[in-house]
Structures are given as structure tokens and as C-alpha cells.
Amino acid sequence: MSRFLPQETIRRKRDGLVLDPQEIRTFVAGLTGDQVGEGQAAAFAMAVFLRGLSLPERVALTRAMTESGRVLSWDLPGPVLDKHSTGGIGDTVSLPLAAMVAACGGYVPMISGRGLGHTGGTLDKLASIPGYDASPSLDRFKAVVRETGCAIIGQTPDLAPADRRLYAIRDVTGTVESLDLITASILSKKLAAGLGGLVMDVKVGSGAFMAALPEARALAESIVAVAAGAGLRTAALITCMDATLASAAGNAVEVAYAIDYLTGRAREPRFHAVTVALGAEMLVAGGLARDTEEASARLESVLASGAAAETFARMVAALGGPADLVEAPERHLAAAPVTREVRQAGTVASVDTRAIGLAVIGLGGGRTRPEDGIDPRVGFTGLARPGDAGGLLGVVHAADADAADRAERALRAAYRMGEASGETSAERPAVIERIA
């Protein structure tokens, strides 16, 4: 057998050649077996980013990354379902959605990632909950799913380990936006989780990796096609990220926002619309509702009754977090020592949402290197949307006054203000398109 040379695979993709499935499997095996160095993994990611993969190459890469570790199987009395977002700012949907679907009879083993590029990560949000074990053993993970109906954790060493390594490299090499790598990364984890149905939330807009609708549609179609090739029932919704989805962006502040949403203390219309639309697709995919209208009604019911909030509380407690987090989040979620309102006269015309995500990183709420720590306290709340005319752009949550100054400048720069002359612009619908 000839010796495996990672640089030859990199060279072939760099030159635009099509890789055969065995070549892809061998390279992915090298990622998990340390035959591929950090520089080589980064070069491969860049070659794929620049040259792209054909559909058969995407399927082969996804399968190889799925099979690089353990693939779960489930024996549960209901359907195993999940949702995944391509990433955005204030995209806190996973936290309430998992509990809502579980309260409706689904089982949601949600394996989430850290922040990528300018977007926040569900795993980083959960890390702001004291005691919450986002890296449990697989046995404990499965037990919590069985007992509570859902568990949101980070990627374990056993599941799709090749993706775990490539995921961190993409974050710091300018290759996050690769349609091919996004597709393989998302689906390898979901296939390894043993799902029966998946719903994709593909973001489009100034805060998304796909800023234009044709790009977002291409990614949605890629994910649906590759998932179909792998035997996983998948639908995709293209949703708007022209402004932050929630009015909070950060880690602890987004957990608090999710709790307010579940308990009904605050329920913003666009966030609610996206959450219910995704949940309805999940219930229909799992046979828990005849259509999305019936599914939406069931989701509204578990919110109104408190069943969804109770399910979230049970999940947090089962994974080591405070038993009373939902009742008293302020008792457990760390608060930043400096808060500051940022105000500006006029009506919001548009938002550079990506700039807000970068401002969260500048505050310490995200990473510039894989090994960087995160300050869970920092971020923004009360963020304005296009059309808002109240004067408040947002509230800065910072570790010190200097950081607050920088964040205030960044927040002001992210907003374009209009006048009564008609310079303001309306947002697109929260849910733009469905692809299946």
C-alpha cells in the first residue's frame, strides 16, 4: 500500500481536481489519527473554500466525518429530532426550541458548537450556566434525553471527531463561510447523533455567513440534498438576519433572554415566529402533528402551560445546572460590572449585524483564537431593529469602562439612522422561504 501523503490531497484540491471517496476517507482518517498536521488541515480547508466540492465529494466528506467516530442509536417511545442554525447574532432559538419540542413528545439530542467567526455559539451560552455539564459522557447524554426529552451539549470526542478538529480550524482561518465545509460539518454531527428528522435554519442577511439570498438558498439546497443522500429527512427554512434575532447578544444575556421567552416575561414577535416555524417543521417531520398549523398550536400550548419552561429547567438540572435557574436566573447568571445605555436620535434605517457580533467578541464574549477564554457576562441587550425610533440603540454590558467605551463606539457605527423623509427600510419577513 502506498504511503498516505496529505499534501498530495491538498495539492489536488488546490488545483481544482475532484477527490475520490477513498481519498477523502483517508484524509479524514488522518485528521483523527494525527497524520494530518494543523497547517495541512488549514490548507485543506482553504483549498476547499477556494475550489469547492462537487455533490459526490460533499456526500463523501460528510460520510467520512460521520464515520470518524461513534454513531448513536436510540430506543425511545417518540421521534428523535433536531434543528440546526447556520449561525447568527442573538440566535438563541436552540435553548427554548429543544424544550418546546420535547414538551410536545419529541426527543431532542442537540449537539451544538462554539461560536464561529462573528456568530455566537450555543455551547458558549450554556457555559455561562454554573455547573452545567456541556460535555457529559455519552451514557449520561442518552440518559438525560430519555428522562427529560432533550439535552443540549457540545460535541463529544466520540461523535464526528474529525469535524471537531476541522471546526476549530475553520473559525480562525477565514474558511467559516465555505458552503461545502458547513454542509459536511453540520450533517456529520447530526448523522452521528442518530436523528430521525432534521430542520435547518439557514440565515441570510448582514449578520449571516450567507449575506445574499441566492447564497443562502444554495446552502439550504446543499444540506437538503446531502442529507437526502445520507437517508436523513431534512427540511430547511431560510430566515432573516438583517438585524439580531433576539434583542440580546452575548452569552449569559442570551440565556436570560431564552428564560424570559419560555416563561412569557418577554416574547418578541420575530424571535417567536422563527422559533415556532422551526418547531412546527420538527413536529411534522416526527409525525407528532399532521401539518404545521396543528404543530404551531401545540407549541403555543406548551409555552402557555409552562410545560416548555419546566422541561428546560429539568434539562438544566439533569446536566448539573441550578435547579432554580428558570425561577431565579439573576441569582446564577453572572452580570457584567459596567452597563451603559447607548442612545441616538432618529429612526433605525438598517443594521450592520455582523459588526454587532464582532463587537461582542471585542468585549470578550467570543474568540479570536481557538484557545481563547470567554467572558460570559458581556454583550448587549435591548438592541434596536430597523424601524425602531425610541432612541435606544442598545445596552452595553462590559467588564470595565474602557471596554464599554469601545463597545459604544462599535454599536453606534453598526446602526444607520434615517429621517422622516423615508430613509428607513423595512425588514424582510422573519421566515423567508422553505426548501425541502
pLDDT given at position 115: 57
d(CA 357, CA 370): 17
What is the rounded average pLDDT of the residues 248-260? 97
Angle between helices 21-33 and 161-171 (to 10 degrees): 80
CATH H-level, domain 6-52: superfamily: Transferase, Pyrimidine Nucleoside Phosphorylase; Chain C (1.20.970.10)
* Cell representation of residue 320: 448539573
d(CA 351, CA 340): 20
Model confidence at 422: pLDDT above 80: no
Q: Each residue of 202-227: pLDDT tens digit? A: 999 988 888 899 999 998 999 999 99
85 in active site: yes
Residue 357 contacts residue 116 (beta carbons within 8 Å): no
Q: Which of 66, 185, 244, 424 is catalytic?
A: 185
- The rounded mean pLDDT for the chain is 92
Return the percentage of the chain with pLDDT > 70, whole number.
95
Q: Which of 25, 63, 164, 189 is catalytic?
A: 189
Q: Each residue of 139-154: pLDDT tens digit? A: 999 999 999 999 999 8
Q: Which of 83, 142, 298, 314 is catalytic?
A: 83
94 in active site: no
Q: Which of 62, 85, 239, 353 is catalytic?
A: 85
122 in active site: yes
Q: Which of 26, 122, 178, 311 is catalytic?
A: 122
pLDDT given at position 118: 64
- 424 pLDDT band, cuts 50/70/90, is very low
- 426 pLDDT band, cuts 50/70/90, is low
- 77 pLDDT band, cuts 50/70/90, is very high
CATH topology of domain 81-329: Pyrimidine Nucleoside Phosphorylase; Chain A, domain 2 (3.40.1030)
Closest to 184 in 3D by CA, of 167, 159, 202, 203? 167
Q: Which of 13, 25, 63, 190 is catalytic?
A: 190
142 in active site: no
185 in active site: yes
Model confidence at 1: pLDDT above 60: no
125 in active site: no
Q: Which of 25, 63, 84, 118 is catalytic?
A: 84
pLDDT given at position 189: 87
pLDDT given at position 331: 97
pLDDT given at position 420: 44
372 in active site: no
E-assigned strand segments in 176-277? 197-204, 234-240, 249-250
Q: Each residue of 366-399: pLDDT tens digit? A: 876 666 788 999 999 999 999 999 899 999 999 9
Model confidence at 116: pLDDT above 60: no
d(CA 120, CA 97): 17
What is the rounded average pLDDT of the residues 398-414? 97
CATH H-level, domain 335-418: superfamily: Pyrimidine nucleoside phosphorylase-like, C-terminal domain (3.90.1170.30)
Global confidence as pTM: 0.87
Q: Which of 26, 32, 58, 82 is catalytic?
A: 82
Q: Which of 142, 170, 203, 298 is catalytic?
A: 170
Give the rounded distance of the alpha carbon of 254 from its chain centre.
13
Among 54-68, 117-131, 182-196, the minimum mean pLDDT is found in 117-131
Per-domain residue ranges of the chain: 6-52, 81-329, 335-418
**Do the two domains 6-52 and 335-418 of this chain adopt the same fold?**
no
83 in active site: yes
